[in-house]
Amino acid sequence: MHVAQKFEHLLDTCRRPDGRRWTGQQLDEATGGVVPRSYFVNLQKGRIESPGYEKMAAIAKAMGFPPEAWFEEGFATRVGLAEGSDGIAGRVEHLFDAIRNPKTGKPYTNAEVARMTLGDLSEEEVEGIRTGTIGDPTVGQVAALAGVFGVAPEYLLDRAEAFLDGELVDALRDEVVRDIARESSRLPSKEQRLVLGIVRQVLMSRSGADDDFR
């Protein structure tokens, strides 16, 4: 779904308390000028294909939906934002700490991550997002970085609970598992559920085969 279509969907879904859609002027006032009226119009008309994190977060806060809704296919209205957010730089650093290069056992370098995005991010951009120098990364930059670590883009935008448990960290150390997670994270939610169903069917068949040998 194009970002303009997503924005239209959010405008329809997350209306003002009086039931009306947000206008550019109202959003300008609600965000303290972070999202000016002209930006609202350009976003609505599809002239802005990759809005920055600051703009997405400001719109989400003003309209009352979680930032990850920008990336969700089937979004149902939810009120309020998660508490305890430590910012995109903190979440990226957490991924660098938790997911290691399986060949070396060491954290990935900025250069390695940049290469794994296949040209979507430069080494300087990875470093900028990681250190907070780039505090307003675009949708494309967030998606590329999330894809490298095999997480959904919404993890980098908003976190309501602890994300990585020990079992998941161990699984993501495996290169094949990480590739599966990375590639499937780029699929629409319908296809993601299909992939999950296939994996579960394989596990069930293996479980049945193991039982036959007992």
Residue pLDDT, tens place only, 12-34: 888 887 888 999 999 999 999 99
In tens, the pLDDT along 150-209 reads: 777 777 765 444 344 455 556 666 677 767 776 777 777 778 788 888 888 888 877 665
Q: Cα(176)–Cα(5) distance, rounded to whole angstroms?
A: 34
In tens, the pLDDT along 196-209 reads: 888 888 888 776 65
Domains and CATH numbers, the chain: 3-71 (1.10.260.40), 87-185 (1.10.260)
Alpha carbon separation from 16 to 29, 35, 55, 83 (Å, rounded): 13, 17, 19, 22
Top-confidence range, 116-120, 146-150, 151-155: 116-120
Q: Cα(186)–Cα(117) distance, rounded to whole angstroms?
A: 12
Instruction: Enter the DSSP assignment of 20.
Output: P
Q: Which residue has the higher pLDDT, 95 or 102?
A: 95
Mean of pLDDT values over 80-97: 67
Give the per-residue pLDDT at 29: 94
Sign of the alpha-carbon dihedral angle for 139, 144, 148, 150:
positive
Q: Cα(82)–Cα(161) distance, rounded to whole angstroms?
A: 9
Alpha carbon separation from 101 to 84, 95, 131, 141 (Å, rounded): 28, 12, 20, 21
Widest CA span of the chain, in angstroms?
A: 69
